Amino acid sequence: MHPTDLNEVAHVLRRSRRVLAICHVAPDGDAIGSLLGFGWVMAACGPGHVVTLICPDPIPAQFAFLPGAAEILSDPPRQAWDAVISLDASDPRRLGKPFRPAEYGDTPVINLDHHVTNLNFGHLNYVDARAASTTQIVVDLADALAAPISQPAAICLLTGLVTDTLSFRTSNVTLQVMDTARRLMAAGANLAEIAERAMNHKPLSTMRLWGLALADLHLDGHVVWTHITQAMREAAHATESGDGGLVGYLITAPEARISTVFTEAGGGKVEIGFRARPGYDVSELALSLGGGGHPQAAGCTVDGPLAAVEQRVLPLLQSLTGPENKR
């Protein structure tokens, strides 16, 4: 539980033979991209490392093209590890059942992430909230390991950068991000193909679900919000879990300073997604509700029922959208 630098992380990895790498549940492009990219970077360090790649949930169809995606397992074998590494997860609960710290003994747990709300749950915590993606940190890690970036690594790593920045549109896209992207393209990653495959993918059933949710759209002050009920999900025959990215669509309304989607999930839970315009911050609210994220994109899961959650959370959002909160 101390802040660390990447040379320390590289030092631990260099002497680790059996490495367990885990990304977060409900994986996005950065989770899968950093998991696979890390695997390729370790492979470039020589044959002395055997990396087991774990994602707790199925790989979304739009990321199946990533090199190595077929090698990802959903649950690790019960064996001893020399190092365990978490990628893109701000909270150990986001790693799901595959993360079993009670079994790790003296094995170092490395926490590599870019969420400002990271709980620093590892023995080695490298959390860079200025990084636009965890894959950007994996590129820095490759440099610390003096590992060359292979073409498959570059494809996976650029995918995380593209998806987390919404194709280089977010406020954290710096010259350094563009330099990293340029480097990954030079290493053989095709930006246009990655953007096409990873971003232009919206199942028709998700569009139908959006249609139902958009029919019940609300504007309260500067907050644009709606909800997705189990009944809507059944009516739309939705295949995707969650809101399918609807909350990111709502924030494009000029009226919106914050957008929110409340989604009825299984087990009486409600998932809440938040987006904010630059200058507004939803990460602290998400953290206070047991979740986490970034200033402009965050989320949490709370106990239902839906109506009670909306009644409790909507006033909290109002207080965040005033000019006095603008940074």
218-277 positions binding Mn ion, by CB under 5 A = none
We find the least distance from the C-beta atom of residue 262 to Mn ion, in angstroms, to be 23
Helices (H), 221-268: 230-236, 246-250
Rule CB under 5 A: choose which of 89, 95, 157, 164 binds Mn ion: 164
> In Å, what is the CA distance from 65 to each residue of 25, 37, 75, 202, 247?
19, 13, 21, 16, 26
| Side-by-side strand order, sheet with 124-127 | 2-3, 124-127, 109-113, 83-87, 18-23, 50-54
We find the least distance from the C-beta atom of residue 88 to Mn ion, in angstroms, to be 5
We find the least distance from the C-beta atom of residue 80 to Mn ion, in angstroms, to be 29
Rule CB under 5 A: choose which of 12, 13, 23, 30 binds Mn ion: 30
236-237-243-248 Cα dihedral, nearest 10 degrees: -60
CB hemisphere CA count around 96 (13 angstroms): 17
Tell me which stretch binds Mn ion (CB under 5 A): 10-18, 28-36, 51-59, 73-81: 28-36
Q: What x/- string results for residues 125 through 144 when contact with Mn ion is judged by CB under 5 A?
A: ---------x----------
Nearest to 199 by CA among 71, 6, 28: 28
Q: Collapsing DSSP states into helix, strand and coil, what is residue 281?
A: coil
Rule CB under 5 A: choose which of 88, 91, 243, 264 binds Mn ion: 88
Q: What x/- string results for residues 32 through 61 when contact with Mn ion is judged by CB under 5 A?
A: ------------------------------
Q: Which two tokens stand for residue 37?
A: 């990219």
We find the least distance from the C-beta atom of residue 34 to Mn ion, in angstroms, to be 7
We find the least distance from the C-beta atom of residue 22 to Mn ion, in angstroms, to be 14
Chain residues binding Mn ion by CB under 5 A are 30, 88, 134, 164
